[in-house]
Amino acid sequence: MLSLIIAESSLELVPRELQSHISIKSHAKKLGKYPSEILLDNSWHFAAMKGLENEIKRGRPDIVHLCLLAATSIPLYHENEIEIYVHTVDNKVIILGDNVRLPKSYHRFAGIIEKLFKDKVIKTDDSVLMELKKMTFDELIEMIEPKSVIALSPDGMPSNYQSVGKELDDSCLIVGGFQKGAFSDEITQHIDRTYSIGEQSFEAHVVISRILYEYEKTIFM
Amino acid sequence: MLSLIIAESSLELVPRELQSHISIKSHAKKLGKYPSEILLDNSWHFAAMKGLENEIKRGRPDIVHLCLLAATSIPLYHENEIEIYVHTVDNKVIILGDNVRLPKSYHRFAGIIEKLFKDKVIKTDDSVLMELKKMTFDELIEMIEPKSVIALSPDGMPSNYQSVGKELDDSCLIVGGFQKGAFSDEITQHIDRTYSIGEQSFEAHVVISRILYEYEKTIFM
């Protein structure tokens, strides 16, 4: 079984120190929620986020949405051949259940994630769709116990999706859930091999689409 | 050169007959716009849309957003090896310029498209990013003059992305920009070959990601 970790994802609720900022208060009001209940989102909260610690890896829930849609709309996930985790920049982990149909509409996705951050679990009558745990990357890797940990990052060894796809059985694949920057040391110390695809830096959702497609070919064809 | 048409896309401004519906008026107010200026969106306007003509192909701008991100975040587009058109269910066509970086954040995307519907063009000082024309699918095909027109649809001949990718040179690829249903006759009469991939019906953004990736391999490798 392949595990996918979208690591250090820029997904969190508005942190306490920004909750009284005017741009955040007015955005929360529009949504009919308290500032503490809404996702930090650079596209609305840019002014408030200026100078925030580790700013480059924060406030991009849209990236996580696109990554999760890329990973869950495919046969690999429908056939339960992949486990999906979102590790966040402030060390929380979303464990995704089987056969979850995430909304393509962003505001609905945000609503679910905000509910998850509040309630720690989203479930139906007979299954758990998502769970949120306070968990470091260390602890997550310890829980998964993969055969090997393989990361995709622009600073890795040059390769291509097809070759990397063939190496993934029983591995844990790491893709960064942030816009820019490199993995922190806490992540890199667990990585066995890092590969780079192409010369440009790609959007995380494109990397996930392509690598999972190539892996899917190795197991379904 | 490959052309991609996202056909009969569920993208339009709120039509006149729905502009006075309470759910639409209150949503427009929240956005600080008139009902006539906002995109029809099933996830907000579900109540208003009940019983609307051709409902199944309307009010899903999120699908178009995901399709365009899948098609524009890749080397094929960055290297100007593909032309991208969004044909809408009410016969408008968005012609996408070169090297356009669409926002991943949905509300920013919606803002740009709403501006495009109003102004008919989005440009910077030295280039046209997007143009909107009143144009039928017939007229669009006539303008593109492709060598052949190839569609992906669940009712086509069984094939796979790799094989279809090898057929695409100088062709026009058609993917439906709607949630459910089949192409209308106006579209099918122009199609030379229709292929189906897999047994399930896939999300349009997944189909676009995979087929463009396979086509990209044939020209860059």
pLDDT in tens, A127-183: 999 999 999 999 999 999 999 999 999 989 999 999 999 999 999 999 999 998 899
Band of pLDDT at residue A198, cut at 50, 70 and 90: confident
Distance, CA of A156 to chain centre = 20
Q: How far apart are CA B217 and CA B219, in angstroms?
A: 5
Which of A26, A66, A211 is the mutation pick for testing B, counting most B CBs within 10 A? Answer: A66
* A37: helix, strand or coil: helix
Answer yes or no: is the ipTM higher than 0.90.
yes
Tens-place pLDDT, residues B7-64:
999 999 999 999 999 999 999 999 999 999 999 999 999 999 999 999 999 999 999 9
Count of CA atoms in the C-beta half-sphere (13 A) of A155: 8
Contact B105 A41 (CB under 8 A): yes
Tens-place pLDDT, residues B121-150:
999 998 999 999 999 999 999 999 999 999
Partners of residue A202 in chain B, C-beta under 8 Å: 73
Nearest to B58 by CA among B103, B90, B98: B90
Contact B73 A103 (CB under 8 A): no
Q: Report the predicted TM-score, pTM, of the whole model to 2 decimal places.
A: 0.97
DSSP A128-151: EEEEEEE--HHHHHHHH--SEEEE
Partners of residue A106 in chain B, C-beta under 8 Å: 62, 105-107
The partner residue sitting opposite A105, judged by closest CB among B62, B203, B205, is B62
Partners of residue B78 in chain A, C-beta under 8 Å: 200
Which whole-number Å values give the CA distances from B100 to B6, B68, B123, B214, in the listed order? Answer: 17, 10, 10, 22
Nearest to B194 by CA among B207, B206, B180: B207
Q: How far apart are CA B197 and CA B195, in angstroms?
A: 7
Q: Are A85 and A94 in contact (CB under 8 A)?
A: yes
User: Once rounded to an integer, what is the mean pLDDT over residues A116-125?
Assistant: 96
Length of chain B equals 221
| Residue pointed to by tokens 């949630």 | B179
Return the H-helix or E-strand segment holding A51: none
Contact B73 A205 (CB under 8 A): yes
Distance, CA of B221 to chain centre = 28
Chain B residues contacting A via beta carbons under 8 Å: 30, 41, 43-44, 60, 62-63, 66, 69-70, 73-75, 78, 103-108, 161, 198, 200, 202-203, 205-206, 209-210, 213
The partner residue sitting opposite B30, judged by closest CB among A30, A161, A206, is A30
Number of other CB atoms surrounding residue A4 within 10 Å: 26
Partners of residue A103 in chain B, C-beta under 8 Å: 43
Partners of residue A69 in chain B, C-beta under 8 Å: 66, 203, 205
Contact B104 A206 (CB under 8 A): no
Q: How far apart are CA B60 and CA B178, in angstroms?
A: 7
Q: Are B86 and B68 in contact (CB under 8 A)?
A: yes
Q: Are A49 and A42 in contact (CB under 8 A)?
A: yes
Can you read off the two tokens belonging to residue B117? Answer: 């519907």
Distance, CA of A108 to chain centre = 17
User: Once rounded to an integer, what is the mean pLDDT over residues A185-196?
Assistant: 97
- Predicted local distance difference test score (pLDDT) of residue A211: 98
Partners of residue B203 in chain A, C-beta under 8 Å: 69, 73, 104
Å from A25 to nearest chain B CA?
Answer: 15
Tell me the one-letter amino acid at A144.
Answer: I
Q: How far apart are CA A90 and CA B180, in angstroms?
A: 39
Q: Where are the alpha helices (DSSP H) in chain B?
A: 22-31, 42-49, 61-72, 75-78, 106-119, 137-144, 161-165, 185-188, 204-220
